[in-house]
Structure formats: C-alpha cells, structure tokens
A and B are shown apart, each in its own frame.
Chain A
Amino acid sequence: MQDHLPPGIAMVKCENLEEWQMDIKVLDQNPLYQDQTYRLKFTFSNKYPIEPPEVQFIQCAESTGTPRSIPIHPHIYSNGIICLDLLGSSGWSPVQNVESICMSLQSMLTANTRDERPAGDQEFVATNRRRIRDINFVYEDDNV
C-alpha cells in the first residue's frame, strides 16, 4: 500500500490497528505550507469504520530527525485538533478511509489563504480536556 499512496501522502507508523501516523504535504505553491511536511495521528476505536477515527496533527521535535509543526489554519487549533465535519460523527461516513482523510486535509490546507488560528484558540487549547470525538464543533464556515 505504501507504494501506491497519492502524491504527498506517506505512511509513517502503522504497526497496529489502534494508532497510525501519516505524513502529508501540500503539493501546490501555497506559501503558507510550501515545503512543509505535517504529521497526522489517527486513533481508531474498535467501532471503526462505523465511527470516525480521531485525527489530529502532532508536533515532532527537531531532535527526532523529522521535525513537524502544526499547520496554521483557521480550523486547526494550535494543539493539532482539527475542526472538519468529515471527522465528526455527523459528517463521517464509513466509506471514508485513511487515504481519503489525508486527501481531504491536503485540500483543506491547499485552499486556505488565511494565516490564522481559530477564534478562541488559546482558551480552547488551555481548557479542552475532552476527547476529540466529543468536542461539539460548530461547522459554521463552509468557505475554507
């Protein structure tokens, strides 16, 4: 499978069926993300694919040899939590898979022009203790 992934998507870790890590790149010239690689963590429950996996960007330190940061985006909190309807119970469909999620996130980044975090980012990051799937996002903005 590794060899047949779409461009800009690579498998990093998939030893078990609970957690996978993937690297994604934005392929066009969007200056916000140019030449950057981002690390995604997928956590699968035993109800996957009926239920969505939890997906978030994660940071990797310089010392790991593969430094990764959290991409700047109005729907991505600075702790890596992503606000995307596809990943919530309401927008999820069991026909989605790791590859399709990665591609959705690639296009979500590609299409973005705003160099900003979501409103209330600091507060959310400081106070959120909920698991990702329980966060009740409001998908108010379809433009980004």
Chain B
Amino acid sequence: MDAPSDISDPTQWLETPLSLLAPLESALRCQVCKEFFDNPVITSCCHTFCSLCIRRCLSADGKCPACRAQDQELKLRRNWAVQELVDAFQTARPRVLEFSMETARQAQAENREEPVHKKRKVAPAEEHIQVPEPSSEGRRTRSQRHHPQPEEHPAIENPQIIEDSQDEEEYIPEDGLVACPICNRKMKEEAVFSHLNIHQGDESPKKPQSTSSSFGPLRAPQKSLVFSGKPPERIPAINYSILKENALRKKLSDLGIPNWGPKQLLHKRHTEWMNLWNANCDSKIPKSKRELLQELDIWERTQGGLATGPSPFVSSTNVMRKDFDAKEWSSSHDDDFRRLIANARKKVGAKMAPATETAPTPSEPPANGSLVEPNIDADADHVIDLSG
C-alpha cells in the first residue's frame, strides 16, 4: 500500500500482446484493497489477503470476505510464497510491460507502413509471445522453452527497452538450474523444495541479506524471507465489553497511543492499532513504531475521532457489525436523524458555515476545521433526493 505515485492496473496488459498477464496480475492482488498483496496471510478457509485488510475485515464482522466463513485473526498465517510471487512480479513488471507495449507499437507501425524488413528479427520472438497458451497443454516443458531463446535474446537486449538501468542486473540465459533461496546452491528446479527441507530449522540465512544481489537476475527480488531477529510481540485482542472506560484508557496510554475520546472511540482506536501493529508483525521488513503511529494518525483523521465522514454517527462500525441491531438503532435514533437533517438543511441554506456540531465527535479535539462543509452539503443533497 504505497503512495499511488504510479497507479498500476491489471488492465494495462490488455492492450499489449501479453494480455494473458492481466489475470495473472489480478491473482496477485488483494481482493479487498485491489493492490498487490502487502504481507499476505492465509485464512482458515484458505483465502489470501493483505494482513491489514483481513484483520480489518475480521474486526468488522468476523467473516472471510471471500467465502463468509467465520474466522479469527489468531488463525491467520503468513503466506510467504505469495509474498515472493508478488515481489518477483512487481520487480519484473515495469520492464515486461514496457517491452510488451513496445512490441505492440512496433506491430502497429509495421502494419501502417507495410513491409519493413529490418524489423524481421524481432518478429519471431513477438509471435512466439503472442501465441496464447492453450490451457489443455498445461505447462511448457523446458525443452520447448529453450528453442526460441536465440531469437528472443536480442529482442530483450534491444536498447529501446532498457530504461535508465534502474536495476543493474543483465539478462542471463537460463541454464535450467535455479538457486536455492537460502544457500544459493544451483540445482534443478524440481529439487528445490526437497532441498529446502535441509534448511528447515535454520533460524537465519547463512549469508547476510546484502549478498542477495549475487543471486541470478531471475532471483532478483529475493530478499531473505527468513525471520531475522526476534519478532515483535503481537497485541492480544481484548474484550471491550468487560473493560471499564478508564481501564481501556490506561491500556491505550500503556501502548503509547492517544487515549482521548469516549469509550466507543477508544475501542475503535485500539482495534485499529492492534490491526496495524499485528499486520506489521507479519511483515518481513517491519516498520518502526513511529511509522505505525503516523498511520494511526491518518486513521484518526479519516475514520477516527477527527473524521468528518458523511455518517460518522450512524456508521455501523461504531459497533461490531455482528453485534449490531439495526432496527433498534434506527428506531432509537430516529429523532437524531431528523435533527441532523434539519441542521443540514439549515447549513445548506446558510451556505458554508462550518458545521462542527453535526459531527458527533468527542469534545476534546477542537481541530475539526473546515473539512466539514463538503460532507454536509453531500448529506443534505442526499436527503433531499430521497424525500423528493
């Protein structure tokens, strides 16, 4: 979940000869956040999500989003194979995409200006890639894969494709052998898994992480997936209903997170912190507590006590969804709704008056500011829509 500096999307493949990579890329993305898996974990029902995504889902309704089976965060297990897939794919992605788009552009250009003989060299490789794999054939054998290589190779080395040598590895033709991710010994692909058993029980990699760049280019994204040092301790879930407000407030300050606001908010903040923290425990490169506190601060401003969302009041996440009695809630708050609607209408009429009272935020943080207005507008529009 990095900053969206470059937004990538599986549909980018569809315009290229490698359109079959679109479903592959979709499979490497979390179904909840639609990003590439970030610290993937697997549920008891064998579905994989980002650690943070599934933790948030489970704290909201205790069910797997994919199949709705009950599950608990304690049962989540890291899925490092998927992490490796994602890392490798993400490393390869920019160049493969660029290569594929370039090929598409060349094909287009050729179509326009008819016979261009110079480009002939590229064509075989391109055709080779274009051929969709009939699923019945299954995996290609190694011997098949090796044949086109003499032609493929120059195409890949084509200077147009290599963009400002962001990663310094060069293409090395496959020798059919792969390196063990732990000891780097070369062996046949199918031997790796049984070989890995030898390393089981090894607490740390034999080589320090910095040497990982000496792995072949095809192993490039390999960082040590083996735990280094002791894992940070996880925060246990607590039963909020048996905890008095002051005890909960103390727990929050013991954890080093803000402890202002009513109990409901303390509860939500604790849950979010627990999710952020425990998801971070699943990371192979854990963030510092400071970074996590910044993330909690973002949460505070978007969904917590400083949030001014369209419906902070009636949001069902005030209560765990599984315990939420919607009928009771809506009948007991009917007056509130009417009052809010009336307020909102007034506000729209009066234009632009900051409307902090509408947000049922705790009285303590006075920093609500001007973020409020657009939401109120939206709210009022919405209400008018419904009644009209």
Please list the residues of chain A having a beta carbon within 8 angstroms of any beta carbon in chain B.
1, 3-4, 18-19, 43, 45-47, 49-51, 58, 79, 81, 89-90, 93-95, 97, 128-136
Contact = CB atoms under 8 A, between A and B. Distances in A.
Given A47-B315, A51-B317, A134 B11 contact: no
A51 B327 CA distance: 18
Contacts of A19: 378
Interface in B262-279: none
Given A1-B9, A50-B56, A128 B386 contact: yes
B11 A4 contact: yes
Nearest to B61: A89
A123 B383 CA distance: 16
A38 to B, nearest CB: 16
How large, as a class, is the contact surface on chain B? 35 or more
B387 interface: yes
Chain B: interface secondary structure?
helix
A128 B11 CA distance: 41
Nearest to B57: A94
- For the residues of A in contact with B, the DSSP-based class is loop
Contacts of A93: 63, 65-66, 68
B302 interface: yes
Nearest to A90: B321
Contacts, number: 88
Interface string B355-368: 00000000000000
A29 B57 CA distance: 39
Contacts of B63: 93
Interface of B: 9, 11, 14, 31-34, 53, 56-57, 60, 63, 65-66, 68, 302-303, 307, 309-311, 314-317, 321, 324, 326-327, 329-330, 337-338, 341, 378, 382-383, 385-388
A20 B270 CA distance: 32
A93 B69 CA distance: 11
30 contacts: A3-B14, A4-B14, A18-B378, A43-B310, A45-B310, A45-B311, A46-B302, A46-B309, A49-B32, A50-B317, A51-B60, A51-B315, A79-B385, A79-B386, A89-B316, A89-B326, A93-B63, A93-B66, A94-B31, A94-B53, A94-B57, A95-B66, A129-B341, A129-B386, A130-B330, A131-B382, A131-B386, A133-B316, A134-B330, A136-B326
A134 B314 contact: yes
A16 B33 CA distance: 17
A97 B34 contact: yes
Nearest to B31: A95
Nearest to B388: A79
B32 A46 contact: no
A44 to B, nearest CB: 9
A113 B177 CA distance: 62
A97 B9 CA distance: 15
Contacts of B324: 89
B384 to A, nearest CB: 11
A94 B32 contact: yes
Name the 3 nearest CB pairs between A and B, nearest first: A95-B31, A94-B65, A94-B32
Given A4-B14, A43-B310, A45-B315, A50 B57 contact: yes
A93 B66 CA distance: 7
Contacts of A136: 326-327, 330
Contacts of A131: 311, 314, 337, 382-383, 386
B338 A51 contact: no
A50 B60 contact: yes
Among the interface residues A46, A79, A90, which one has the most CB atoms of the partner chain B within 10 A? A46
A3 to B, nearest CB: 8
B32 A130 contact: no
B303 A47 contact: yes
A144 B238 CA distance: 42
Contacts of B387: 128-129
A13 to B, nearest CB: 14
B316 A51 contact: yes
B254 to A, nearest CB: 27
A30 to B, nearest CB: 27
B382 A43 contact: yes
A36 to B, nearest CB: 21
Given A129-B383, A131-B311, A1 B11 contact: yes
A63 to B, nearest CB: 17
Contacts of B60: 50-51
